[in-house]
Amino acid sequence: MKQSKSEFWSGEEYDAQYGKAYSNEISFLHDLLATYQASSLLDVCCGTGLVTIPLSNNLSRAVGIDFSSPMVEFAIEKSAAVDNISFCEMDAVDFNLGTQFDVVSMTGNAFQAFISNADFLSMLNRVKNHMGDNGVFVFDARLPCPENLEVTSGYQYWSSYISPTGEKVNVYGWDSAHPQSNDTMVHHVRRDYENGDQYHSKIELKYRSIDEIVSCLESVGLQLVRCYADWKKTPFTKASKRIVGVVSAL
């Protein structure tokens, strides 16, 4: 069971909506790369490279992989003038680049895109195989608290942005429980464009508890070494609704 690609149908549209939303992630990873004196970064589920491209400045090599071709194509277009970066269309569940990296990142809650445990474990195994000696993996995810698993009875207003063609877009979301998978939400999204057009998409997200995450990490030889409540390094507590985790080999 794969996450639908319908929400990631256009790199240009993704950047118009989220292009300025990743400064905390970039700053966190920038500090981490410096702390580990890292020279290489693998960004798994990189999307349009919003995080990969700015981080590539101080590295000898940055690679992004993502299974959505419009996202990867736009990442390649945006980074055409950058020598030390490459983007590949690959599924995080079964990719093999034949090389290892100092830091592996996964931002934008893509950690929740792996619905079945088989896919989740396979992705973690692939990540582990691409971590060099003393390498670290950093991810973020929302946790299965009542607030995050709340369903809505219909579409509700979420946000607005200006599309790549300059039109105002109002975004509405409708949250439902996945019919076949526990602790999985289906977020239906509707974008209403000023000219009357509509675009419908959906995104399935699995909400795993810390205990489940730790146990899956350990089963593939990884361990959670640090966690925060967000990318601003707010201390993690039992009440935290999301996690930013730093992972190393066991």
Ligand X SMILES: C[S@@+](CC[C@H](N)C(=O)[O-])C[C@H]1O[C@@H](n2cnc3c(N)ncnc32)[C@H](O)[C@@H]1O
Count of residues in contact with ligand X, rule CB under 6 A: 20
Task: Supply the minimum distance, in Å, between the C-beta of residue 127 and ligand X.
Answer: 11
Identify which range of 66-74, 141-149, 163-171, 210-218 contacts ligand X by CB under 6 A. 66-74
Interatomic CA distance for residues 95 and 93, integer angstroms:
6
Taking CB under 6 A as the criterion, which residues in 33-62 touch ligand X?
A: 45-47, 50-51
- Strands 156-162, 131-142: parallel, antiparallel or unpaired by DSSP? unpaired
- Work out whether 71 is an interface residue with ligand X (CB under 6 A): yes
Task: Supply the minimum distance, in Å, between the C-beta of residue 213 and ligand X.
Answer: 17
CA 156 to chain centre: 24
Interatomic CA distance for residues 36 and 45, integer angstroms:
22
Task: Supply the minimum distance, in Å, between the C-beta of residue 11 and ligand X.
Answer: 9
Identify which range of 27-35, 107-115, 185-193, 206-214 contacts ligand X by CB under 6 A. 107-115
- Work out whether 8 is an interface residue with ligand X (CB under 6 A): yes
Interatomic CA distance for residues 94 and 122, integer angstroms:
7
Near ligand X by CB under 6 A: residue from 67, 111, 139, 228 = 67
Measured between its terminal Cα atoms, the distance across the chain in Å is 29
Near ligand X by CB under 6 A: residue from 59, 75, 104, 113 = 113
Nearer to ligand X, 56 or 68 (CB): 68
Cβ–Cβ contacts within 10 Å for residue 198, how many? 10
- Work out whether 79 is an interface residue with ligand X (CB under 6 A): no
Give me the count of residues in the chain: 250
Instruction: Please give the C-alpha separations between residue 181 and each of 5, 19, 167, 184, 205, in angstroms, as whole numbers.
Output: 18, 31, 37, 6, 10
Interatomic CA distance for residues 31 and 125, integer angstroms:
25
Residues of this chain that interact with ligand X (CB under 6 A) are 3, 5, 8, 22, 45-47, 50-51, 66-68, 71, 91-93, 107-108, 110, 113
